[in-house]
Structure 1
Amino acid sequence: MKESNDYWKSNLEDEATKAIMDEYLLSLKLENKAERTIRNYRWFLERFFSICTLPLNQLTTNEVRKCFLHFTNGKKEKTVDAYLTALSSFLQFCLAEEYIENVIIKKRWRPKIPKSLPKYLSENEFARVKITTENSALRDRALMLFLFSSGCRSSEVSNLSIKDVNLEKRTAEVTGKGKKIRKVHFSEECALVLKDYIHTRICKESDPLFLSNSDQRIGPKSIYYITRKIGKKAGLNQSLHPHCCRHTFATNMLARGATIEFIADELGHSNLNTTRIYARILTEDMITSYQNIMG
């Protein structure tokens, strides 16, 4: 099994393609792309080029298209789009480095994906979840309040240590995508519950903020499990997961008058268009309310 720090090295048998792919994956690492993204790209590219075995300089549009359709047969449109993004990124790198001479992937290959709105909790659902957390373990309550009032991703919460959190100022320094550090805020209620939770432990500043049941740093999967469990206890019709908490945070902030720019900073969005989708949620909610009243 490969060491963690070698996640950007491929396992291809063809040495020539492997060398180029390793160069490409290393370039992603040097650009501070998330490790998860690099691993996903590597996984797809390794499997694609185990099917498409022509040397890179002999690739044609027709051959790549045929192999790509074979590989993505039966896959959902979002999955096809993600695979196409990885393949397109790699082949653009090959073109820029002159490993290939022509553009291979065509824009028309991109599947049309209907724009879906982020799933978030209504005021009633949010209130039910908060009531449920009041009867939950102190760690779980602190965790849920932090997710809802900071808008952080589960991976960002998992990586937090006690030293990263200022309970008096109600701020935390989190490491987001591309290893970018940003400051987020959380509620007074969250600060009080966090303080109580930390006081139940014998810990150092360098210790993880949230611990698993085995007293290790809590992982994203465990955070997902906790949110899902609380959502079920609250009787939600939809599954509650960390990103739903994040969407609920953003929607609530916008509804209360926060600017798109402020919300983008809190969420760690580098592109404002990513944040503007929450404005669409409020607009569509208002249309629905109008239709319910006026018919």
Structure 2
Amino acid sequence: MEHYERWIKTYFTSEHTQKTYLSALHKFHNKFGYITTPDELLDAITTWIRDLRTEGYTPKTINNYVTAVLSYYRDQGITIPEDTWRRIRRRILPPSKPSTFDKAGTHDEWKRILSHMSLEGRSLFLFLLSSGCRIGEALQLKVSDLDLEADPPRAYIRPEYTKGGYGGRVVFYTYETRDAIAEWLKLRLILNKRAPKRYYIPKHGRYAYYTEKDDNRVWPISVSTAQAILWEALKRAGLDKRDPRTGRRLIHIHSTRKFFRSNCGLSDALTHALMGHEGYLDRSYLRQNVNRAAEEYKAITIPRLTIFERTTTDKMEILKLIAKALGVNEERLDTALRDALSFEDSIMRIREMIQESLRSNKEYQIVEEKDVQFYLLNGWDAAKVLNDGRFLMVRA
């Protein structure tokens, strides 16, 4: 057992992978003992696959367990011939597909869930929902990896944080996420200052002193702790629903990535690149032109992934985008805002420009995404995707 524990800790950094592989190897060796030849491995693996299926393990779990065992023995120089393994995989190994019906969660559902979290949990899950990051990547982020001053805010996912260590990337997140993270970092600083430097041991009748770990991660918690935060919030929100067949939760940590992918509104290539899918990073302009990706995220994605009520500043940005889409010159906009006497005066000036543009010969309509196709088929053009996710349509 000590040998495969060392092997796991040496070659795998993900906490989730370490736990899965340790469980798989422990179960396998309890049943079959240590293997010394390819023939023994072949017999044991085929028997184990059938046993796991009989015991009701999900296809995805079976595949993960088998991969763990084969990877371990491959590194020990014991392998099953490729042709033989191909037949096993085709005939008795179930396809590795999720067997639980799960869901991404709606904006309203996530609002209810996040409302039952502490500032630490809320800032973490807002980041996951708006960045598309994996939980393992997010929990390795250091404060120095964040750029809260950028517009939109961004984080740098280093290669060593990623699944398989494949390529680092930049990700973006919403303004409400930025604000929540900033508040959490302030609170963390206060909590760290108040942390006791010693503790009393009644058994020995004395104090013991300890040195705090230098943990400069944004969220210094484990994946299991993050799961517990989500599960408790789901219960409190009345959303702790399970798949009737497997008993697993319908909303779980991976649902945050599903939410991002379903709602971000970006092209497939950029979406996959932001999520860190291998094969898309090099093909997307995320790597070649980060600023272009940032502008698309700011204009299209931020309004779609914002969970809570928009601030007045966000509403100002929406009006500015509408004005620009209607042909209002940016220099004219800047002049009007600079000369405004107050925030309310700025809003009034922009609205006047919008009204003036709408009185031109062109006809405009602001429509929901579901209605865009109807307008396109009836001679309209899409002039702009607005900051709230709707479309500005124009017809001359």
State TM-score, norm by structure 2: 0.49
Q: Does 1:83 align with 2:94?
A: no
1:60-139 equivalence runs, <5 A:
61-62=42-43, 64-66=45-47, 68-70=49-51, 73-78=54-59, 79-89=61-71, 99=78, 102-103=81-82, 104-105=84-85, 106-107=88-89, 108-112=91-95, 119-122=103-106, 126-130=107-111, 133=114, 136-139=117-120
Displacement after TM superposition at 1:142 (Å): 1.9
Q: Does 1:219 align with 2:199?
A: no
Question: Deviation string for 1:156-182 (max 9, x for gaps)?
Answer: 222222111110121112322123433
Displacement after TM superposition at 1:10 (Å): 2.2
The residue aligned with 1:268 is: 276
Change (3 A) 1:250 1:52: same
Q: Does 1:10 align with 2:4?
A: yes
Contact 1:163 1:206 in 2 (8 A): no
- CA distance in 2 between counterparts of 1:265 and 1:245 reads 16
Contact 1:119 1:244 in 2 (8 A): yes
Which amino acid in structure 1 is aligned with residue 187 of structure 2? T
- CA distance in 1 between counterparts of 2:263 and 2:48 reads 45
The structure 2 residue matched to 1:190, chosen from 177, 180, 205, is 177
The residue aligned with 2:130 is: 149
Change (3 A) 1:182 1:118: farther
The residue aligned with 1:281 is: none
Change (3 A) 1:92 1:262: same
Which amino acid in structure 1 is aligned with residue 269 of structure 2? E
Displacement after TM superposition at 1:72 (Å): 5.5
The residue aligned with 1:249 is: 260
Question: Deviation string for 1:182-203 (max 9, x for gaps)?
Answer: 3211101111222223233437
SS class of match (1:110):
coil
- CA distance in 2 between counterparts of 1:161 and 1:101 reads 42
Which amino acid in structure 1 is aligned with residue 236 of structure 2? K
Displacement after TM superposition at 1:206 (Å): 6.6
Contact 1:129 1:230 in 2 (8 A): no
Q: Which protein, 1 or 2, shows the higher relative CO under an 8 Å CA cutoff with sep ≥ 6?
A: 1
The residue aligned with 2:186 is: 199
SS class of match (1:250):
helix
- CA distance in 2 between counterparts of 1:10 and 1:156 reads 25
Q: Percent of pairs identical after alignment?
A: 22
Richer in strand (by share): 2
- CA distance in 2 between counterparts of 1:242 and 1:142 reads 14
- CA distance in 1 between counterparts of 2:184 and 2:96 reads 43
- CA distance in 2 between counterparts of 1:69 and 1:132 reads 39
The structure 2 residue matched to 1:259, chosen from 262, 267, 270, is 267
SS class of match (2:104):
coil
- CA distance in 1 between counterparts of 2:217 and 2:13 reads 24
The residue aligned with 2:235 is: 232
- CA distance in 2 between counterparts of 1:183 and 1:51 reads 45
Q: Where in structure 1 are there 5+ consecutive unaligned residues? A: 3-8, 12-21, 211-216, 273-285, 287-295
Contact 1:162 1:207 in 2 (8 A): yes
TM-align CA RMSD? 3.8
Which amino acid in structure 1 is aligned with residue 273 of structure 2? D
- CA distance in 1 between counterparts of 2:117 and 2:20 reads 35
- CA distance in 1 between counterparts of 2:18 and 2:223 reads 18
Q: Does 1:40 align with 2:27?
A: no
Displacement after TM superposition at 1:149 (Å): 0.9
Q: Does 1:173 align with 2:156?
A: yes
Larger Rg computed on CA atoms: 2
**Equivalences, count:** 238
Change (3 A) 1:76 1:134: closer
SS class of match (1:163):
helix
- CA distance in 2 between counterparts of 1:268 and 1:191 reads 21
